[in-house]
């Protein structure tokens, strides 16, 4: 055994003993973490460009800042970058695709005409890696979204266009699920809304309701596809009113048995999604979480190991409903190495989940239910300085990925190998 591996293992054995004194099984915690896949978002790798018209300016409240060299220019490069990122992340995960990442062989294919055949290479790649795929219809950066409205547009022709695109997307998601043996989560997000205060909020929301109901008319097995809807408080160009608000989609998901997507950056700056998980699960079939990091607004910064991330992880673990919660990432930072962004965000999300798993929840709940708040606070505070880092390092070592910051060297070497080709 190499010296650094021995040090990691020795530190882990001491941590294992320390946690054992609390009645916490570190091996069990790592095993549970293995069963919690995180859906990496493909759009971090190319700044939400896609392959439909990658050089066109993003519209619909989407903005990526930065110009770090080396972004993927096509699907093959994007898959190579994902391969690199995944080799540095412990566990087996998923990939979240947008419709604009279709591979059409250089032919112009309308979004309403997209089918599973345009994602064959993605399915083959995922099948080889034993990964699941998730999907999103792309309802932005298109002439039919130029007015700032899609599924709630007053023009029936434009609404019908987007309805057909979403129908096609559900069929693509079902094909993913059938091919890969794990349900695809197909998530609908729209940027529809008003820049300034509207007079009529009811009509566009009624139109959105009717559009969504039409989209979901086709019966698709939940063994293959799970539908999700995603709300937002405001966006660029829709500061005054977003049609798909939290209240709208909470009601929709509850009455239509879809998943509700809670995005960490889509609420008021004083709101956090960790506080919404338990309440939502009481009424919904399940949740899709988009883990991101807002910085004063929905800026989608790379996820760091902060208080809200830990709170989200604790809520996932303590709910006892992990099988009903789907975890995905949603950030895009072009100011740093894009592969590093994936690795940082995913590993931090896993760290938070492991931190949540390394507690004796039963003991804490017992103290709470007997109104022994003193013991509860003492236990929670003492857990914060337990040797969690030693368990995380051993988890990485035992799963065959670099420990600590060692992964950064691999990213730098990869960047050097590809920089000439991608200038």
263 noted as active-site residue: yes
Catalytic position from the list 330, 333, 393, 415: 330
Q: How far apart are CA 220 and CA 321, in angstroms?
A: 24
Active-site pick, 52, 263, 315, 333? 263
**Which residues on neighbouring strands pair with residue 187, listed in sequence order?**
228
- Whole-angstrom distance, CA of residue 398 vs CA of residue 16: 14
Q: How far apart are CA 260 and CA 187, in angstroms?
A: 9
Q: What is the DSSP string of 92-141?
A: --EEEEEGGG---TT----GGG--GGGGHHHHHHHHHTT-EEEEE---SS
Report the C-alpha gap between 6 and 16 in whole angstroms. 15
**Annotated catalytic, 21?**
no
Is 290 among the residues known to form the active site?
Answer: yes
Among residues 232, 246, 326, 351, which one is catalytic?
232
Tokens describing residue 407: 């992964």
Give bridge partners of residue 263 from the DSSP assignment: 290
> Can 300 be counted among the known catalytic residues?
yes
Identify the active-site residue in 93, 98, 179, 266: 266
Residue of 98, 276, 290, 314 with catalytic role = 290
Which token pair is 258? 């879809």
Q: Which residue out of 162, 189, 342, 392 is catalytically annotated?
A: 189
Structure-token pair, residue 230: 């995603």
CA triple 282-193-52, angle to 5 deg: 95
246 is catalytic: no
CA atoms of 45 and 40, how far apart (whole Å): 10
Active site residue 83: no
330 catalytic residue (yes or no): yes
Q: Spot the catalytic one: 52, 230, 315, 359.
A: 230
Rounded Cα gap, residues 248 and 245, in angstroms: 5
Q: Are 63 and 56 in contact (CB under 8 A)?
A: no
Q: Are 422 and 69 in contact (CB under 8 A)?
A: yes
Active site residues: 189, 230, 232, 263, 266, 290, 298, 300, 330
């Amino acid at each position: 055994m190499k010296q650094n591996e021995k040090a990691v293992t020795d530190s882990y054995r001491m941590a294992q003993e320390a946690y054992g004194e609390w009645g916490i099984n570190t091996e069990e915690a790592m095993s549970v973490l293995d069963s919690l896949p995180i859906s990496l978002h493909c759009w971090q790798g190319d700044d939400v460009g896609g392959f439909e018209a990658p050089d066109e300016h993003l519209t619909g409240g989407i903005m990526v800042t930065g110009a770090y060299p080396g972004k993927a220019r096509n699907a093959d490069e994007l898959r190579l970058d994902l391969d690199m990122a995944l080799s540095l992340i412990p566990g087996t995960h998923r990939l979240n695709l947008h419709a604009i990442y279709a591979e059409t062989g250089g032919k112009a294919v309308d979004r309403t005409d997209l089918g599973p055949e345009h994602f064959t290479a993605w399915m083959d790649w995922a099948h080889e890696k034993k990964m699941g795929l998730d999907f999103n219809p792309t309802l932005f950066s298109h002439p039919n979204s130029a007015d700032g409205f899609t599924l709630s547009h007053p023009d029936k022709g434009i609404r019908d266009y987007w309805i057909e695109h979403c129908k096609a997307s559900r069929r693509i998601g079902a094909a993913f699920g059938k091919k890969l043996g794990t349900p695809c989560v197909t998530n609908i997000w729209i940027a529809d809304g008003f820049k300034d205060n509207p007079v009529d909020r009811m009509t566009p929301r009624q139109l959105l309701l009717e559009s969504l109901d039409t989209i979901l008319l086709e019966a698709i097995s939940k063994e293959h596809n799970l539908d999700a809807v995603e709300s937002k408080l405001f966006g660029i160009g829709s500061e005054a009113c977003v049609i798909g608000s939290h209240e709208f989609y909470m009601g929709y998901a509850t009455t239509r048995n879809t998943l509700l997507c809670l995005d960490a950056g889509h609420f008021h700056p004083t709101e956090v999604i960790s506080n919404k998980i338990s309440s939502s699960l009481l009424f919904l079939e399940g949740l899709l979480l988009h883990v991101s990091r807002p910085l004063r607004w929905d800026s989608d910064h790379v996820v760091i190991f902060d208080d809200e991330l830990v709170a989200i992880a604790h809520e996932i673990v303590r709910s006892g409903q992990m099988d009903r919660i789907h975890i995905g990432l949603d950030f895009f930072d072009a100011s740093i190495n894009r592969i590093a962004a994936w690795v940082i965000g995913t590993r931090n999300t896993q760290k938070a989940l492991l931190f949540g798993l390394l507690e004796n929840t039963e003991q804490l709940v017992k103290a709470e239910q007997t109104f022994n708040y003193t013991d509860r606070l003492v236990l929670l505070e003492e857990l914060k300085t337990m040797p969690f880092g030693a368990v995380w390092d051993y988890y990485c070592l035992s799963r065959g990925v670099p420990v600590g910051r060692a992964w950064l060297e691999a990213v730098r070497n990869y960047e050097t190998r590809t920089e000439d080709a991608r200038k």
